[in-house]
Structure 1
Amino acid sequence: MQFRYRKKKRTDTGTVILHWLLAVSLALSVLTGLRFAVDMPDTGYLSIVAPYLPVSKIWIIHILAGVTLIGVAVAYLLYLRNAGLFRRVALDRTRLAALKCPGSARWSTVNVLLYWLFFASLAIQIVTGVILHRGYGGVIVTLHLWATWAILFYAVSHVLAHLAMGGLGQVLRIVRPSQIPAAADHGSTSLSGVAMFVLSALIGGAAAIAYLYADHASRDVLYVGRIDKPAAADLGPDLWGPAWRDAPVLHVHTNQGVNLDGSGASLVDIRALHDEDTVYFAFTWEDPTRSMKHAPLVKTQNGWRALFSESRDERAARRQAVVGKSEDMRAEQTNFEGALNEDKFAFMLANVEKPFGPGAFHPGTRPLPDKPPSASGRGMHYTEDGSAVNVWLWRAGGLDSSRCENDRVGPATRPTAAELHGASLYKGGFAAKPEQSVAYENIALSSPRDPRAPAQPLRLPLNVAATRVALGTIDLDPDHGDAENARWAMREDESAPYSTELDARIPIGTIVPGMIAIAPRPSQPTDVLCTARWAAGRWTLLARRKLDTKQGDDVVIGDQTFMWVGVFDHTLANHTRHIRPFKLEMN
């Protein structure tokens, strides 16, 4: 009996190495990218895979995987050229004619067509990724996601095409390396196959390193001009003074937020000055509405209800629950779904450069697997290198205080028993100082954050009529702004702790503020003093703080300070963001 030996198919070692580098980089890039996509407004379908997506160090992984893709793409193009392997992917007339032939020839052509789909998708992925990293969003985010789906389609189709072309042996050839072919003849230069591969890999690695260097060298800089004390006394949020007019302006594009006329993006203009003792920041950002309301409370026949905004999953579940019910029931259940939250603005400062990702933010429902989930479902703030950063938070409802909240973000804390059992919110490494608070919610912490459920107000107005006048025109459409003189935060001195007696005197249908404004207090050295005004679709905020407060957990502001900013357009947590920090340079 005669046995016929079938030689196993193999692939040159250079292609094997580059293929698996590309595959691993793409896998890491896609998995971490889908984690970010889960947070997008129209990607509820990704909730199925969300529990299986990575949650730790995803900014670092995503960016480094993207940079690796740049290097591998450059190396592979050079390798194909220098090794004379472009015929593998040539799409000429002969190759296209093979589509009419049965068997492996047809599938070989199909595979080449898939290659070109992949090349185009990868090019779009890299270009849009670089643009996103530079601070732009909008349609670029959509293109980036579409390219991801195209690459996933290619990966599955590529394997199936190889199976159809030559069976399992054809697929397994990518794990059976063979000798690298000799370099193609390009004139007088002659390199061995190995030397040619090493040269291609080195050039690809240099391209990746060059991108990282260019990214670092091109970081935005906010120049902080020096003024004297008398000039500082004239600074105001109108920016009409000569000091503000002469200050250099840094334009920061922020994206991936919500609202903002549907764009989820806001351009922030930043100016800064100092007088050797205090730093002054002027922030101006786009916001189409002046939103002062935060979860106002309405008295119904069944008690008080807070007009909370809901997450996408909560809203979808509630809408599904009323399918098929009466029209009155559907109206009752869907009446309080608007995002009734105040406008806010946050700025983060650190004296440690964090090049991979926006400061200390980590997206995901549970970014820390061994800790309680995120209260917002969007992510948590904490640092992973042991450092601490400052977060200054301005709230439209805290205008009376003339302060921003000066909070901290450090390493994730150990959850308390109350946080483990859901009785208290776990906030990762975010630590708010009680003395820095400018306002608090007018609802008991034990009340469910559900617009359908009864809510327990903490305080009720002493004079309902006066409170009604302070609210101005009541419009519960979240996309409609509030009048300039409207006040949707009730002061402590015009309210009293909740009591059944006081509640009984308030008629059904009454709406009271969902925020309690803390009474102004004497300023402290650690305070961030703020004034703000809204006009013509833009907020302008003036913030000032001592350069060095002499407090151990306050960032000393100077040439080594890095900053990030975020815009909240009537949203509780879905603020805009930018990936790359900008650096201060003191004049």
Structure 2
Amino acid sequence: MTDQVTDHALELPSSSNSSKKSQTGRHANGADSAAKRPEDRSPPVRSDIGTILLHWTLVIAIVTSLLTGMRLSADAEHAWFSKLFEPILPQGEIWTWHYVSAIFVLAVIFAYAAYMTLGRLKRRISSKKIVVLTLPASTKLRLAAVNVIAYWILFGAVLTLSATGVLLYIGHGGIWVTVHYTAALVVLTYIVAHVVLHYCYGGVAQLLRLFRPQALRRFPGMSRHPLALATALGAIVLVGAVSLDFGTRDSLVVAKGTTLPELDGTLDDPVWQDAAPVFIRTQQGSNLDGTGESTVEVRAVQVGDKIAFAFRWEDKNRSLKRHPLIKREDGWHMLNNRADISDETAYYEDKFSVAFSTTDTFGGGGATHMGPKPLSDKPAAFNHRGLHYTTDGSLVDVWQWKASRGGMLGRVDDMHFATPVEPNEAQAAGKSRYSAGYNPDEGKAFYVYNYIGDPVTHYHGTVGVRRLPVDYQKMTSLMGTIDLSTEVSEDEGSQWWMFENESVPYSPEKDAEIPVGTVIPGVLIEGEYSGSRADLLGGSRWQDDHWTLEVVRDMDTGQSQDLAMTDGLFMWVSAFDHNQTRHTRHSRPVRLTFN
């Protein structure tokens, strides 16, 4: 917001006499004037030190906020514009940089406004300059007026970004995501327009004035120390915003109980009535009736050396169809839309995830790293969205409920985020998904997949089948109403998985008995859970457009890949509406507090 100073007066229409005299003088003295015109030795234009410092601090904060915000925007399911900037967008732990830079933008805006007021510099953005556009003025005056309009557009866009950013930060999504993104595009456009306007006004010299400091000119009535006072105000805003954030975060008080709840997916047990709930707004997930939002209710109770959690979240459909198989004329096909890049958003089960960390670092304890290849020496993410891992040797304990992979059978998968593991040969060659530090705990789960992808067509052609139902008609009956639309609820009690005793290994003879059009499950249940992966027991039920999940675990399992449930642990939750990785999220963790 530098001055655009000009010596050009308004170019008002001259009288005819003046015009004639001017023409006569020009004919008489034209050659002499050209010969005698003195060389322009005016000093280069400069800006005051306060303006330079505040300007570049704001530029750095805004550019950091925009670049990190564009990276987050590029992660959206249908993003295209932000993906155009992919080569220059940062990768890695983006969340901290985005939030910190946003707070700095807010603080510097307040400091800048105070500086212009205390230094009597408000004329730079005075709306009175705009009147020039209605008069026959010089080009420079018109450019100065346009620049004032651009300033006010910037102010409006930054205020909109700040307001919607706060809404997103505390969990409001939906339309506010679009408004926030639009305001960011306005700021991006302003940056380009701002540089062009200043160049047109005074060329390179006008741009270089922000690298040529000078003392602030004194005016009657101005503050003696405008920069110091403005900086102090900015610091107060910065500290105030951070303090307000940390001072208003939720705590989940873990109640004391004498009897564990029955794990049936309801909150009828008396023990839950004594547990005060917290409500967590999560957003920016896929599906969820087009809103991407789901409010999660959480309760917790300690019973001796056990802890029980209850989670209830919004989801209008009971989705159990995880990559079902359908027989067509040319063979078996696995229903999917993006299974080949591990980014399914259609034929998938509902899921729910809980993450615990000893730190409240942004990005789920610092374990979320955005971008197609956040680890330069490791394979890229299959879906180019990012990887989960920690960089300081810490561990994030992750519990994941998967409706059709044991979730409806009383199991919750025990997993974790930790230091990235070394890729195997297939992962290094890009033939298998590399998940960095996101891995299951030691042990075994009881689910496997009933399909074998073709190395050429992957999952967009025919697939191999591991096992076929002993009685396909009975299996069809167990699956309930088979509607291959992805936005309908499966029947209560329906079974979209196949037990070992309900199936036989694939054979052409058995396949010949099954008619074209038959649908069978894509998940097989074989054996039992074991090891640290079997630490969690659960019960779930879908009713009234909500899932309810109860989970029980030891307070301290003694396992190296688990965190003990202690006071001060931080928690994040995520809902998946029939999608693989595009879960809802929230920025501020909930702190566990024990009575």
1:553 and 2:589 are equivalent in the alignment: no
Paired residue for 1:185, among 221, 228, 234?
Answer: 221
Deviation of 1:306 after TM superposition, in Å, equals 0.5
Q: Distance in 1 between matches of 2:342 and 2:448?
A: 24
Q: In 2, are the aligned partners of 1:367 and 1:373 still within 8 Å (CA)? A: yes
Partner of 2:385: 378
For each residue in 1:150-194, what CA deviation from the matched residue of structure 2 results, as whole angstroms up to 9, or x when unmatched? 1011111111211222222222212211113347626xxx52xxx
Instruction: Tell me if the contact between 2:298 and 2:312 (Cα under 8 Å) persists in the aligned partners.
Output: yes
1:538 is aligned to 2:546: yes
> Separation in 2 of the partners of 1:558 and 1:433?
20
Q: Is the 8 A contact 1:60 1:356 kept in 2?
A: yes
CA distance in 2: counterparts of 1:78 and 1:312, whole angstroms? 54
Say whether 1:204 aligns with 2:241.
no
TM-superposed deviation, 1:519: 4.2
Change (3 A) 1:405 1:338: closer
**Shift of residue 580 of structure 1?**
1.2
Q: Helix, strand or coil: the match of 1:348?
A: strand
SS of 1:585's partner is strand
Is the aligned partner of 1:473 residue 2:509? no
> Which residue of the partner structure matches residue 252 of structure 1?
280
Matched, 1:277 2:305: yes
Q: Distance in 1 between matches of 2:329 and 2:134?
A: 72
Structure 1 Cα separation of the partners of residues 515 and 575 of structure 2? 37
Q: Is the 8 A contact 1:378 1:574 kept in 2?
A: no
Is residue 119–residue 226 contact of structure 2 (8 Å, CA) maintained in 1? yes
Deviation at 1:408, TM superposition (A): 1.3
Q: What residue is the counterpart of 1:222 in the other structure? A: 252
Tell me if the contact between 1:402 and 1:529 (Cα under 8 Å) persists in the aligned partners. yes
Residue 87 of structure 2 corresponds to residue 54 of structure 1 = no
Rate the CA distance shift 1:26–1:357 in 2: closer, same or farther, 3 A. farther
Structure 1-normalised TM-score? 0.90
Structure 2 CA distance for aligned equivalents of residues 449 and 562 of structure 1: 43
Structure 1 184/34 Cα, relative in aligned 2: closer, same or farther at 3 Å?
Answer: farther
> One-letter code of the match for 1:220?
D
1:117 aligns with 2:153: yes
Question: Aligned with 1:284: secondary structure?
Answer: strand
Q: Is the 8 A contact 1:133 1:580 kept in 2?
A: yes
For the residue of structure 2 that corresponds to 1:403, the secondary structure is coil
**Residue in 1 aligned with 2:348?**
341
Q: Match of 2:115?
A: 79
In the alignment, the residues of structure 2 paired with residue 271 and residue 314 of structure 1 have an alpha-carbon distance, to the nearest angstrom, of: 32
Q: Which runs of 5+ in 2 are unaligned?
A: 1-35
Whole-Å Cα distance in 2 between the matches of residues 145 and 311 of structure 1?
28
Matched, 1:295 2:323: yes
2: CA distance between counterparts of 1:82 and 1:311? 60
Amino acid at match of 1:300: R
Choose 1 or 2 for highest CA Rg.
Answer: 2
Equivalents in 1 of 2:529, 2:209: separation in Å? 74
8 Å CA contact 1:99–1:110 kept in 2: the answer is no
Q: Structure 2 CA distance, aligned partners of 1:420 and 1:525?
A: 26
C-alpha deviation, 1:523, in angstroms? 9.1
1:176 pairs, out of 198, 212, 215, with 212
Q: Distance in 2 between matches of 1:382 and 1:184?
A: 58
Secondary structure of the residue that 1:264 maps to in structure 2? coil
Matched-pair contact (CA < 8 Å) for 1:372–1:415? yes
Q: Which residue of the partner structure matches residue 402 of structure 1?
A: 410
Aligned to 1:506: 514
- Calculate the TM-score normalised by the size of structure 2: 0.89
Task: Give per-residue Cα distances to partners, 1:186-229, cap 9 Å, x unaligned.
Answer: 6xxx52xxx3312211321232122122212222101110011x
Aligned-pair identity (%): 34
Alignment of 1:25-44 (within 5 A): 25-44=61-80
Alignment match, 1:325: none
Provide the C-alpha distance between the structure 2 equivalents of 1:311 and 1:111, rounded to a whole number of angstroms: 50
Match of 2:47 among 11, 24, 27: 11
The match for 1:391 is 398
Does the 8 Å CA contact 1:418/1:424 hold for their aligned counterparts? Answer: yes
Q: How does 1:350-361 map to 2 (within 5 A)?
A: 350-355=357-362, 360-361=367-368
Q: Which amino acid aligns with 2:150?
A: L
Distance 1:205 1:527, change over 3 A: same
Q: Secondary structure at the match of 1:49?
A: helix
1:400-431 C-alpha deviation (Å, 9 max, x unpaired)? 54110001110222222221112321001011
Distance change (3 Å), C-alpha of 1:384 and 1:434: closer
Matched pairs, number: 557
RMSD: 2.4
**Residues 436, 527 of structure 1: 8 Å contact kept:** no
On the 8 A contact 2:445/2:528 being kept in 1, the answer is no
Q: Report the counterpart of residue 369 of structure 2 in structure 1.
A: 362
